[in-house]
């Protein structure tokens, strides 16, 4: 029985470690995959490591992450250690109050701390960037150091420090030569915890960063919006570095016990040690100064805010070289998060939101009118994309990408006769447990409203409630899987028979899996346009118009649409690409002649809240 018990325990331990480490091993294996797939290994290649090295954005993020983690850790360790020592000498009531206050940022959700810091920097009119991110990291790392060091300080024998003072040591010498060595384990524990917290942080960094300053976690988060295997390569390198660090930490105590190491340590003179300390201090100061200098420039600056993974990055470099300027390019994950950041006081020159958000920003007077006389390439834009209800006469926006929403289906599973049901095919029990739905209130309600013959812009609560009932019934009958951008890789691998997808994503998926086809029901769908707008706070409107005109040039538009996969607004490029790179891929060619197709309009707040409440209930069923 004891042997059986040991085997059972060993098996459960194995399962636990497998649960933790198998995903890491899979990530490392797929970093050497020759294709973009995250789940299908097609051959060994170092291509993604080459892409990683040549990706200036990721390399910059690595520098930001490492430099901020090092500086924040050093400063937080010094502050936390001094505070812990000071608390040990304080009165009990004061000590308990400070320790309780110190626990608040540790127990607080990161989002609360992030928004608080964002509001603080905004109210103080501090320009967000490298310095604000550094200050934020110091702020949330210091409490962890205090928590780690304080117990060790409490264990100290106060008589030892007093004896050092009696023997002629100054208070500073007693601190450095007596107290610090005795609490060293706590200091190192706090330092490692602070470094880990800093380099791993995303939420706080996302809200306090600006001027194009991004760390690794922000880059990884934005890259997950579309397939980007360079993240696998980056993750593998990080894992190897951490493994090497763990190895060094564990082997160091063994080396320190060796006689040769002790002799080497004794042979190092105090002068050498002081020189090393001075050099380290100088390098730290240089690190801070260099990071600040790199974030500043004497060139004209244009701040562009776009969705993640939504541009050919070479176009940014080309525009900078052509106009002798600096582009500060930042990304957002949704129109709503973009709006929140703008409302917090963050300033941008060019934003690329979706149609309904363009309408909202214009109504709230965040935008300035486009001077069309400065756009030489405006006549190249498809007439179909101009003068839409969300922006009549294109006063505020110029199309960037466009497309539709439809059903991506597996031709080997779904018959053409099944498609005659339109959106109702999503409730055909023949495909139960075989459907992906977008984990999106707006897109899911669009499907239900169109299936019922209503407008996707309806404000009639009775119609919205019927759409809610349609979705609830679909959830009950079909058991669909609600997903986000992971639908791309899942459909490439043929995991489900059908999925609701955007046309640009469908075009890429179809290029990777020839068994798939795209279908938009005759009942109508959401046609959408993402447009370039100029904010009212834009400081260089001439450069902003040059950016818009540059993106409408045929070469720029061609490079952008080939890289991203969404339909180009430039008519000649759209016609060319649909017969070359995306020849035979129907998703790249959204239909233009269905009277039931609509563009989303901005909804009143009351309707948005009502739909949000219903959507929560749909997901809860």
pLDDT surpasses 70 at 296: no
Element containing residue 409 per DSSP (H, E)? strand 397-410
- Residue 15 inside a domain? The answer is no
Domain boundary among 204, 226, 248: 226
pLDDT digit string (tens) for 218-261?
877 776 656 667 878 888 888 888 888 778 777 777 776 777 66
Domain interval for residue 387: 300-401+530-577
Which range, 129-138, 486-495, 551-560, 592-601, has the best average confidence (pLDDT)?
551-560
Closest alpha carbon to 139 in 115, 113, 111: 113
In this structure, is residue 560 part of a structural domain? Answer: yes
Question: In CATH, what number is assigned to the domain containing residue 329?
Answer: 3.40.190.10
State how many domains the chain has. Answer: 3
Q: Are residues 68 and 187 in the same domain?
A: yes
Task: Tell me whether residue 454 is in a domain.
Answer: yes
Q: Are residues 552 and 503 in the same domain?
A: no
pLDDT at 170: 78
352 belongs to a structural domain: yes
Distance CA 208, CA 195 (A): 18
| 254 found inside a domain | no
Nearby residues of 408 by Cβ (< 8 Å), 6 or more positions away: 491, 498, 499, 500, 501, 506, 509, 510, 516, 517, 518, 519, 587
HSE value, Cβ hemisphere, 13 Å, CA-based, for 294: 15
Are 43 and 34 contacting, i.e. CB atoms less than 8 angstroms apart?
A: yes
Q: Is residue 588 part of a domain?
A: yes
Bridge partners of 404, per DSSP, are 527
- Is residue 394 domain-shared with residue 417, that is, in the same domain? no
Q: For 131-145, 228-242, 454-468, 541-555, which range has the lowest pLDDT when averaged over its residues?
A: 228-242
CA distance 261 to 274: 20
- How many Å separate Cα 44 from the centre of its chain? 28
Same domain, residue pair 544 and 517:
no
Does residue 164 belong to any structural domain of this protein?
yes
Residue pLDDT, tens place only, 69-99? 999 999 999 999 999 888 877 888 888 888 8
Are residues 372 and 459 both part of a single domain? no
**Could you identify the residue written with the tokens 């905004």?**
122
Among the three residues 164, 197, 226, which one is the final residue of a domain in this structure?
A: 226
Q: Buried b / exposed e across 150-160, counting CB within 10 Å, b at 16+?
A: bebbeeeeeee
**Mean pLDDT value across the chain:** 85
Using CB atoms within 10 Å of the CB of residue 281, give its burial: 0 to 12 exposed, 13 to 18 middle, 19+ buried: exposed
pLDDT digits (tens, 9 = 90+) for 205-219: 888 887 778 888 887
Q: Count the alpha carbons within 13 Å of 528 in the hemisphere toward its beta carbon.
A: 26
DSSP helix/strand/coil, 516:
strand
571 and 588 housed in the same domain: no
Distance between CA atoms of residues 149 and 371, nearest Å: 60
What is the sign of the dihedral through the CA atoms of 577, 579, 583 and 587?
positive
Three-state SS string over 261-299 comes to HHHHHHHCCHHHHHHHHHHHHHHHHHHHHHHHHHCCCCC
| One domain, residues 477 and 539 | no
What is the structure's pLDDT at 543? 95
- Min mean pLDDT across 20-34, 112-126, 155-169 is at 155-169
Burial of 167 (0-12, 13-18, 19+ CB in 10 A): exposed
Q: Cβ(352)–Cβ(302) under 8 Å?
A: no
Note the pLDDT tens digit of each residue in 318-337.
999 999 998 988 888 788 88
Contact 222, 308 (CB under 8 A): yes
* Tens-digit pLDDT profile for residues 409-450: 999 999 989 899 999 999 999 999 999 998 888 899 999 999
Which CATH number covers residue 211? 1.10.3720.10
Count CB atoms within 10 A of the CB of residue 188: 14
* 387-398 pLDDT, tens digit each: 999 999 999 999
**Secondary structure (3-state) at 399:** strand
Identify whether residues 222 and 107 lie together within a single domain: yes
- Local confidence band at 484 (pLDDT 50, 70, 90 cut-offs): confident
> Dihedral through CA 551, CA 553, CA 554, CA 559, nearest 10?
-30
For the full predicted model, state whether its pTM sits above 0.85. Answer: no
Query: Does some domain include residue 22?
Result: no
- List the structure tokens of 615: 């959507």
Mark whether 200 and 348 lie in a shared domain: no
**Cα separation, 56 vs 533, whole angstroms:** 26
Give yes or no: residues 353 and 318 share one domain.
yes
- Selection from 41-55, 163-177, 220-234, 452-466 with the highest mean pLDDT: 452-466
pLDDT higher at 456 or 156:
456
- Give the HSE-up count for residue 514: Cα atoms under 13 Å, Cβ half-sphere: 2
Domain C-terminal end among 226, 249, 270: 226
State whether 199 and 323 are in the same domain. Answer: no
Beta strand 526-535 with 598-599 is parallel
3-state secondary structure (DSSP) of residue 453: coil
Residues 193 and 309 in one domain: no
Confidence at 531, pLDDT banded by 50, 70, 90: very high
Block residue for tokens 């759409």: 467
- Report which of 387, 331, 338 is spatially closest to residue 360, judged by C-alpha positions: 338
């Amino acid at each position: 029985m004891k042997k059986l018990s040991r085997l059972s325990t060993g098996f459960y331990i194995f399962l636990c470690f497998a649960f933790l480490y198998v995903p890491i091993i899979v990530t490392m294996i797929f970093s050497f995959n020759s294709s973009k797939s995250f789940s299908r290994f097609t051959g060994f290649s170092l291509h993604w490591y080459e892409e990683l090295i040549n990706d200036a954005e990721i390399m910059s993020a690595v520098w930001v992450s490492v430099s901020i983690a090092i500086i924040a850790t050093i400063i937080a360790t010094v502050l936390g250690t001094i505070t812990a020592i000071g608390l040990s000498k304080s009165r009990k009531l004061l000590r308990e109050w400070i320790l309780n206050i110190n626990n608040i940022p540790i127990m607080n959700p990161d989002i609360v701390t992030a928004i608080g810091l964002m509001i603080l920097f905004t109210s103080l009119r501090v320009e967000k960037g490298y310095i604000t991110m550094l200050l934020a990291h110091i702020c949330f790392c210091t409490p962890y150091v205090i928590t780690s060091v304080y117990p060790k300080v409490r264990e100290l024998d106060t008589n030892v420090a007093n004896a050092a003072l009696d023997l002629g040591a100054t208070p500073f010498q007693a601190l450095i030569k007596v107290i610090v060595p005795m609490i060293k384990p706590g200091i190192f524990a706090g330092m490692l915890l602070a470094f880990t917290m800093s380099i791993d942080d995303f939420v706080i960094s996302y809200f306090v960063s600006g001027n194009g300053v991004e760390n690794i976690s922000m880059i990884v988060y934005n890259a997950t919006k579309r397939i980007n295997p360079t993240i696998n390569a980056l993750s593998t390198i990080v894992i190897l570095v951490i493994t090497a660090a763990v190895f060094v930490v564990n082997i160091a105590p063994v080396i320190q016990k060796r006689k040769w190491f002790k002799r080497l340590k004794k042979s190092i003179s105090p002068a050498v040690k002081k020189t090393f300390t001075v050099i380290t201090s100088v390098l730290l100061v240089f690190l801070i100064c260099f990071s600040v200098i790199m974030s500043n420039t004497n060139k004209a600056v244009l701040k562009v805010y776009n969705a993640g993974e939504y541009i050919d990055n070479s176009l940014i470099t080309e525009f900078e070289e052509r106009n002798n300027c600096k582009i500060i390019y930042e990304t957002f994950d949704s129109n709503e998060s973009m709006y929140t950041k703008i409302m917090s006081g963050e300033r941008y020159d060019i934003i690329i939101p979706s149609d309904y958000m363009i309408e909202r920003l214009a109504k709230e007077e965040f935008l300035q009118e486009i001077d069309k006389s400065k756009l030489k390439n405006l006549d190249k834009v498809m007439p179909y994309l101009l003068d839409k209800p969300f922006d009549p006469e294109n006063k505020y926006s110029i199309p960037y990408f466009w497309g539709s929403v439809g059903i991506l289906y597996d031709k080997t599973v779904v018959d053409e006769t099944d498609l005659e049901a339109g959106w109702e095919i999503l409730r055909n029990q023949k495909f139960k447990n075989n459907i992906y739905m977008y984990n999106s209130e707006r897109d899911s309600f669009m499907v239900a409203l169109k299936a019922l013959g209503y407008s996707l812009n309806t404000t009639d609560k009775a119609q919205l409630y019927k759409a809610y009932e349609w979705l609830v019934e679909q959830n009950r009958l079909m058991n669909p899987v609600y997903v986000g951008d992971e639908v791309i890789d899942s459909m490439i691998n043929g995991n489900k028979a059908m999925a609701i997808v955007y046309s640009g994503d469908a075009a890429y998926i179809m290029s990777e899996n020839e068994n798939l086809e795209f279908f938009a029901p005759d009942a109508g769908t959401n046609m959408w346009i993402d447009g370039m707008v100029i904010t009212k706070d834009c400081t260089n409107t001439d450069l902003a118009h040059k950016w818009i005109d540059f993106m409408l040039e045929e070469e720029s538009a061609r490079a952008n649409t080939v890289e991203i996969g969404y339909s180009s607004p430039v008519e000649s490029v759209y016609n060319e690409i649909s017969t070359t790179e995306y020849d035979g891929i129907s998703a790249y060619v959204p239909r233009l002649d269905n009277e039931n197709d609509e563009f989303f309009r901005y909804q009143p707040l009351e309707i948005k809240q009502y739909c949000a409440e219903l959507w929560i209930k749909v997901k809860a069923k």
